A and B are shown apart, each in its own frame.
Chain A
Amino acid sequence: MLLPICILLKSARQKILSDLRFARGLMRLRVLLAALGLLAGLFTAITSQAQQDTTPDAALARLLAEARAAAAAPGGCSKPGIDRLVRILCDKQMRVSVRENYPLFGTREGATRKGYDVDVAQAIARRLAITIEFSRVTPANRIALLAEDRIDLTIATMGHNTQRDGQARFIRPHYYQSQTVLVGPRALAVTDWRDIAGRTICVTIGNGSNAQIVSHGARLMLFDDSGALPERLRDETCTLAAQDDSFFAFHFTDPAFALRQSEKFGFSQVPWGMAVARSGSDRLAAALDLISQIFHRDGVFLDIARTNRIATGFLEAQRDVWQRAACNTAKGNADAACVLPALDTALQATPFAASVTAFERWAEKHTGISLALPMFKTAPAWSLFKAGIVNSLILIAGALAATLGFALLLGAALGSRHRLLRWTTRALTVTMQSSPVVLTLVIGAAIAQTFFAYSSAVALCAAILALGLTNGSNAAQAIAEAMQTLRAERVPMPGNAGLFSAAVSRSATQIVSFLINATKGTPIASFIGAPELLSALTDITAFASGRATTYSLLLIYYLVVVAIVVHLCGKLRAYLEQRQATP
């Protein structure tokens, strides 16, 4: 049996123990609450920091997380009109088009694709943790394939210009930059624009830099395909060729080519852009903008370029730009101080361009004939066209006058009784007859250039004199022969002037024939850079479309002009013959 005191002691101890347990529980609760509070604080801090992280890496992570969440949501992948980024993440595959015949950038041997563009595509795929389905693309269809949703992304040596901005969404920063370089024999001293005036430069049709070359007085030899240029340089058909440095980079890896040819100078820098479709690709474009930015900053593009042995100057400069704190932000790719602008290639339209386009459509609709009249649509083309017409008329008038003048002058000298004068003139006419007209023009231009600096006016004058001499010397021979026959016939003439006048009348048919020949020969003046119509239209078609229409119109123009000259010359012949018949 327990004593009452013992009972009291036991009760006090139990109370103490109970208080102790309560205090411990309270303590644990406080620790737990404190830990929870700490965790909550930490979570808030982390979340807040993540939300304030303005690096492109964080922005890309957020964008991808959102897209992955959209893809993982029920029915997220089958929703109509989903952004291409979500679709790519759903399929875990991206459709990328690259070139297959552009050495160092995009080539294909069997199933193996190689080149800078291909490696860039693969680096992007690794970053997005997806695979790639490659397809072939050409410069002609790379934008169309995007618009038709047959590809998600094109990485195909495509220059970013203002004209293309309306057709595709270009990824910025640009992943490469090329420039047009002038390539020619090492021994040829060409260092800047001053050295190319009057020279022929081989180019490809549609190359954006053609207009610039033309503006410096060079004449163009056009080729459809850039692949022909190195071969034409090798076989010396072309002395100089202009094309992207990225194109020539491969050919300079050939020691034989590099030994003979060198880059003269570069111009017309064009940033290259990867591109996605303009609609339905907002998230994809944003993700690629950020990836491109990160690749520049981290030297990924640079490493890929070095692997593919292409020029790295632009990429090194871009790495420095994107490592700058001001550019290394999520909004850096939209900052004009960090990204390069698109090349402004938009040509000013003529006031009547819309009417010309309407006429082209009308002609196609009603006649089925697809007309293209680039000479009327843009201000530079219209200006070249007008100048070409005026210059060709000046050239024709000049060639006619020079032919007639030389014919009379040399004819008189050939028919002269002074032996020295006669034989000297005979030597000149035989020389002129023996020289092909192209060579005569070149010699004329070379003589002119020894006295005057090259200009369009000098080329025109040289052409007029060369055409006049060539045709005039032949007509002169006819006059001299007519004089001989008149002397042989012993027709009474009132002095030498009368004899000469009768000889001119007698040789009217020959003179007229060489006048017509001179008119027909005027387009050859374009060979020495005279800015006549053929030259102007060749320049226009070098940077615009519509070659078929342009050259058809040119042919019609010259046929009409020659027909008019034939008509006028017929009147001249009738007058001369009538004069001869009049006693």
Chain B
Amino acid sequence: MSLYAEHMVSVFLPHLFVGMVVNFKIAAIALVIGLALGAPLARARLGGRMASAVAAALIGLMRAAPTFVVMFFLFNIIARDATLFGYSIALSGVMTVALSLVPYAAAYVADNGVEALRHLRSGAPLAALLFLPNVTRSYFVLVMSSSAGAAIGVGEGIAVILREAERLPSPSDKFILFAIGIACFGIALQAGFALVNLVKRRLGHLVTRTGESVS
């Protein structure tokens, strides 16, 4: 094994996996907050006219917010020593990225939540359960989107790849490195989507067996 290959296996890949864990962590935080915000919005969307209009406007606004701009907005607006009632509200890099993904996550949860609630109200609880694989799908989308954190110095997977690439003098070596990075992220993503599809298929079979209609 060449010296570089050894470095890749013993140093780079462990660092990349540690970085990817950060991506998963960011996505998890964003999704949890997204669920907390999106669920009441979905309920409000199916509520009275006024509540529905307000919720629709909020969901539309969150859907339109570009993650990268929101991240820079949070990164630059909240001072590193900001406090509220004596408590520090300064955001770490990980939290900044996670919060920047919240508008997308909340809008996605609200959209799918509305769908699920409609199924529930129409007496199709299994169809409503499709909400779960859809949310899981959004989790993997969030994992991929969390790579934006590299721009503000968060040590996630892409930042690890880019740091390693800086060290490599030849473009061909860099492209091999990028391919390894895509493979690592790709395996995680495709495995996630395969899981989502499996759950969806199982639910589909259940729906067919119980005779529920999924519209």
Instruction: State the A residues within 8 Å of B (CB).
Output: 185, 187-189, 202, 221-222, 224-225, 232, 235-239, 430-431, 433-439, 442-443, 446, 450, 519-524, 526-527, 534, 538, 541, 547-548, 550-552, 554-555, 558-559, 562-563, 566
B86 at interface, CB cutoff 8 A = no
B66 touches A562 (CB 8 A): yes
Query: Given A221-B152, A235-B155, A442-B162 in contact, is the A555-B186 Cβ separation under 8 Å?
Result: no
Q: Which of B48-91 contact A (CB under 8 A)?
A: 61, 64-70, 72-73, 76-77, 79-80
A554 touches B186 (CB 8 A): no
Instruction: Name the A residues within 8 Å of B73 (CB-CB).
Output: 551-552, 554-555
B6 at interface, CB cutoff 8 A = no
B12 at interface, CB cutoff 8 A = no
* A interface majority secondary structure: helix
* Cross-chain pairs A/B with CB under 8 angstroms, 26 sampled: A188-B166, A188-B167, A189-B169, A221-B152, A224-B79, A434-B182, A434-B190, A436-B144, A436-B147, A436-B157, A436-B158, A436-B185, A439-B147, A439-B158, A439-B182, A442-B165, A443-B178, A446-B171, A520-B64, A523-B69, A534-B68, A538-B72, A548-B77, A551-B72, A551-B73, A559-B64
B18 at interface, CB cutoff 8 A = no
Residue pairs across A and B with CB atoms within 8 Å: the count is 124
Residue of chain A at shortest CB distance from B167: A187
**The one of A239, A436, A520 that contacts B66, using a Cβ cutoff of 8 Å:** A520
B80 touches A224 (CB 8 A): yes
**The one of A433, A521, A524, A559 that contacts B61, using a Cβ cutoff of 8 Å:** A559
Instruction: Name the B residues within 8 Å of A222 (CB-CB).
Output: 76
Q: How far is the CA of A367 from the CA of B44 in the complex (A)?
A: 32
B25 at interface, CB cutoff 8 A = no
Q: How far is the CA of A232 from the CA of B70 in the complex (A)?
A: 23
Q: How far is the CA of A524 from the CA of B149 in the complex (A)?
A: 11
A436 touches B65 (CB 8 A): no
Query: Given A562-B66, A563-B64 in contact, is the A239-B147 Cβ separation under 8 Å?
Result: no
The 4 A-B pairs with the shortest beta carbon distances in the complex, nearest first, are A434-B186, A436-B147, A237-B153, A562-B64
Q: How far is the CA of A442 from the CA of B179 in the complex (A)?
A: 12
Instruction: Name the B residues within 8 Å of A232 (CB-CB).
Output: 153
A527 touches B150 (CB 8 A): yes
Q: How far is the CA of A225 from the CA of B79 in the complex (A)?
A: 11
Instruction: Name the A residues within 8 Å of B61 (CB-CB).
Output: 559
Contacts A446-B175, A548-B77 known; 14 new A-B pairs at CB < 8 A: A187-B167, A224-B79, A225-B80, A232-B153, A431-B182, A436-B147, A437-B148, A443-B175, A523-B66, A523-B68, A538-B72, A551-B76, A554-B69, A554-B72
Query: Given A437-B147, A439-B181, A547-B77 in contact, is the A430-B186 Cβ separation under 8 Å?
Result: yes
Q: Closest Cβ of chain B: how far from A367's Cβ, in Å?
A: 18
Instruction: Name the A residues within 8 Å of B132 (CB-CB).
Output: none
Interface centre among B66, B73, B79, B187 (most CB of A within 10 A): B66
Q: Closest Cβ of chain B: how far from A453's Cβ, in Å?
A: 14
A437 touches B144 (CB 8 A): yes
B151 at interface, CB cutoff 8 A = yes
Instruction: Name the A residues within 8 Å of B114 (CB-CB).
Output: none
Instruction: Name the B residues within 8 Å of A521 (CB-CB).
Output: 66, 68
Residue of chain A at shortest CB distance from B79: A224
A520 touches B185 (CB 8 A): no
A237 touches B77 (CB 8 A): no
B69 touches A555 (CB 8 A): yes
Q: Which of B128-153 contact A (CB under 8 A)?
A: 144-145, 147-148, 150-153
Q: Closest Cβ of chain A: how far from B178's Cβ, in Å?
A: 5
Q: Which of B158-212 contact A (CB under 8 A)?
A: 158-159, 161-163, 165-167, 169, 171, 174-175, 178, 181-183, 185-187, 189-190
A238 touches B151 (CB 8 A): no
A434 touches B69 (CB 8 A): no
A434 touches B171 (CB 8 A): no
B178 touches A524 (CB 8 A): no
Residue of chain A at shortest CB distance from B74: A551
Instruction: Name the A residues within 8 Å of B65 (CB-CB).
Output: 520, 555, 558-559, 562
Q: How far is the CA of A526 from the CA of B144 in the complex (A)?
A: 18
Q: Closest Cβ of chain A: how far from B132's Cβ, in Å?
A: 21
Residue of chain A at shortest CB distance from B151: A527
Instruction: Name the A residues within 8 Å of B66 (CB-CB).
Output: 519-523, 558, 562
**The one of B77, B151, B161 that contacts A439, using a Cβ cutoff of 8 Å:** B161
Q: Closest Cβ of chain B: how far from A342's Cβ, in Å?
A: 30
Instruction: Name the A residues within 8 Å of B178 (CB-CB).
Output: 439, 442-443, 446
B151 touches A438 (CB 8 A): yes
Q: How far is the CA of A202 from the CA of B151 in the complex (A)?
A: 11
Residue of chain B at shortest CB distance from A188: B166
Q: Closest Cβ of chain B: how far from A187's Cβ, in Å?
A: 7
Query: Given A238-B153, A562-B64 in contact, is the A431-B147 Cβ separation under 8 Å?
Result: no
Instruction: Name the B residues within 8 Å of A202 (CB-CB).
Output: 153
